[in-house]
Amino acid sequence: MLKKKRYQILGLIFGSVVINYLDRTNISVAASEMSDSLQLSKVQLGLIFSAFGWTYVSLQIPGGIIVDKVRARVLYSVMLFFWSVVTILQSMVSSFAALIGLRAAIGVFEAPSYPCNNAIVSSWFPENERATAIAVYTSGQFIGLAFLYPILATIQSYMGWRGLFIVSGIIGILWAVIWYIFYRDPDKHKSISEEELALIRKGGGIHREVKSNAWNWSDLKKAFLYRKLWGLYIGQFCMGSVTIFFLTWFPTYLVEFRGLDFIKSGFLASIPFLAAFAGILLAGYTSDQLVKKGYSVEVSRKAPVLTGLLLSMCILGANYTDNTAWIIFFLTISFFGNGLSSINWIFVSLLAPKHLIGLIGGVFNLIGGLSAIVIPVAIGYFVDRGDFAPALILITGLCILGFLSILLVMGKIKRIEIPNT
């Protein structure tokens, strides 16, 4: 029987994604208690939430370049170790400025993580398994947090917000050691069978080598010239805004503006994340099935994304009820929709010129990542006035904008042809 070492590697990536999002979002669990301890305003809290995005977004393209130059075994271990150390350092802060600096530092060390994930999957999986592999590790951000939220809330209830950062950081350091011990590229892995290695290579697995050719900076202009691409970029920003709300302000919304018990809010907060996990897996499966059944690329690829954006608008319903069950229902449907729309990376490969797919993907991720900077601050200004309702109206408006951008601005799915000069 053919050993499937590549699935063990996928398990390592999945675990790394869970820890990645643990250290991005533990501050949202700590926010309420931390704000009281450090006397932070809601505007300051919004700035702290967004600080991660400042560096994470700005370093997307440089992070991708680093991934091409350093082997994943070393790079991922170093990233994990340093962002985990910075996570622990957050437990020692006593000022707004220190928190801003440390959150920005986490963004620096996590910036290459997703380009690295993609490179690893491209090396370890044949093309006909790659989409499933990407869906599995991406789902780690949702399923991991679904189970982690109640655990994190419980840790904080016993150890305080400072203890929460310490525990999170220690977990990351241990995982960095595990990664270094067990990860190897396919050509360096001693226990991979010749049959599996041949299957990977025959199926299009990419043998990673250091690239010596210089990148053409004039190509950057081309990434901003086309309406189709702007429709995609705007759509990604809008979808990202929904995700960022759940990763940052959601626990504060439940505790401070809906009056839920902190432990109870941790368990309730896990429900939308489980829904988002189901959404992303359902979207990938449904989209591929529609293709196999002969539906057009317009229907098979756009339908899950557009349906997801429509469902994401349900977040507005939470403004019109005080019943906890209905609040969680509307937020769950919204995040389920966000999971459906999360397959929009497929549009990069369908629209971008073949020789610019990497660059277009970088710009796509950069503009989408701007939501991590803008949205936490914008919500902070809204809620500083004592009302969360305008924040949910903002998110709903962005879902409408994203829907129109994908449907009308991006228009027909057709690859942009540019001569590779």
Nearest partner of 388 among 188, 249, 194, 198, judged by Cα: 249
pLDDT of residue 105: 94
Q: Which residue has the higher pLDDT, 170 or 285?
A: 170
Domain boundary among 153, 169, 201: 201
- What is the reported pTM? 0.74
| pLDDT at res. 102 | 93
Helix-, strand-, coil-residue percentages of the chain, each rounded to 5: 80, 0, 20
Residue 357 has what pLDDT? 64
Q: What's residue 214's pLDDT?
A: 52
Of 136-145, 280-289, 390-399, give the lowest mean pLDDT range: 136-145
Q: Is 242 exposed, middle or buried (0-12, 13-18, 19+ CB in 10 A)?
A: buried
The reply to whether 213 falls in a domain is no
Residues 26 and 165: beta-carbon distance below 8 Å: yes
pLDDT value for 205 = 60
Contact indicator for 40, 104 with CB cutoff of 8 Å: no
237 and 315 assigned to the same domain: yes
pLDDT beyond 90 at 208: no
Q: In the prediction, which pLDDT does 406 show?
A: 94
Confidence class for position 210, pLDDT limits 50, 70, 90: very low
Shared domain check, 247 and 167: no
pLDDT, position 241 = 94
Q: Structurally, how many domains does the chain consist of?
A: 2
Q: Kindly state whether residue 208 falls inside one of the protein's structural domains.
A: no
- Output the pLDDT for position 204: 63
Note whether residue 3 is domain-resident: yes
| 197 and 227 belong to one structural domain | no
Point out the domain boundary residue: 201, 231, 263.
201
pLDDT band at 311 (very low <50, low <70, confident <90, very high): very high
Return the minimum-mean-pLDDT range out of 194-203, 304-313, 328-337.
Answer: 194-203
Co-location of 183 and 231 in the same domain: no
Domain assignment of residue 338, yes or no: yes
Asked if 250 and 393 sit in the same domain, the reply is: yes
Q: Averaging pLDDT over each range in 6-10, 23-27, 194-198, 258-262, which range is the top one? A: 6-10
pLDDT at 209: 54
The pLDDT tens digits of the residues spanning 37-94 come to 888 888 888 888 888 888 988 887 777 777 777 888 899 999 999 999 999 999 998 8
Residue ending a domain, among 201, 230, 260, is 201
**359 and 247 part of one domain:** yes
If asked whether residues 176 and 259 sit together in one domain, one would say no
Whether the CB-CB separation of 109 and 82 falls below 8 Å is answered with yes
Residue 127 has pLDDT above 70, yes or no: no
Distance of CA 57 to the CA centre of its chain: 12
Q: What's the confidence (pLDDT) of residue 2?
A: 47
Q: Of 255 and 419, which is predicted with more confidence?
A: 255
135 and 192 fall within a common domain? yes
Q: DSSP state, 206? A: -
Confidence band, pLDDT 50/70/90 cuts, at residue 217: low
Which one is predicted more confidently, 183 or 356? 183
How distant, in Å, are the alpha carbons of 324, 327, 346 from that of 330? 10, 5, 27
Share of the chain above pLDDT 70, in %: 90
pLDDT in tens, 331-373: 999 999 999 888 787 787 678 776 666 677 778 888 888 998 8
Same domain assignment for residues 238 and 160: no
Q: What is the CATH number of the domain that holds 74?
A: 1.20.1250.20
Grade residue 1 by pLDDT with cuts at 50, 70 and 90.
very low
Tell me: do 294 and 188 sit in the same domain: no
Position 203 scores a pLDDT of: 66
Q: Are residues 181 and 328 in the same domain?
A: no
Residue-level pLDDT at 264: 64
Within-domain flag for 216 = no
* Residue 82 within any structural domain of the chain: yes
For the chain, the straight-line distance linking the first and the last C-alpha, in angstroms and rounded, comes to 47
Question: Would 421 be classed as within a structural domain?
Answer: no
Q: Please provide the DSSP assignment of 373-389 as one string.
A: HHHHHHHHHHHTTT-SH
- Does 215 score more than 60 pLDDT? no
Residues 387 and 243 in one domain: yes
Closest residue by Cα to residue 5 from 210, 184, 134? 184
The whole-number pLDDT of residue 31 equals 83
For 386, the domain range is 222-416
Average pLDDT value for the chain: 84
pLDDT at 3: 60
Tell me whether residue 93 is in a domain.
yes
Q: How confident is the model at residue 207 (pLDDT cuts 50, 70, 90)?
A: low
Average pLDDT of span 248-257: 84
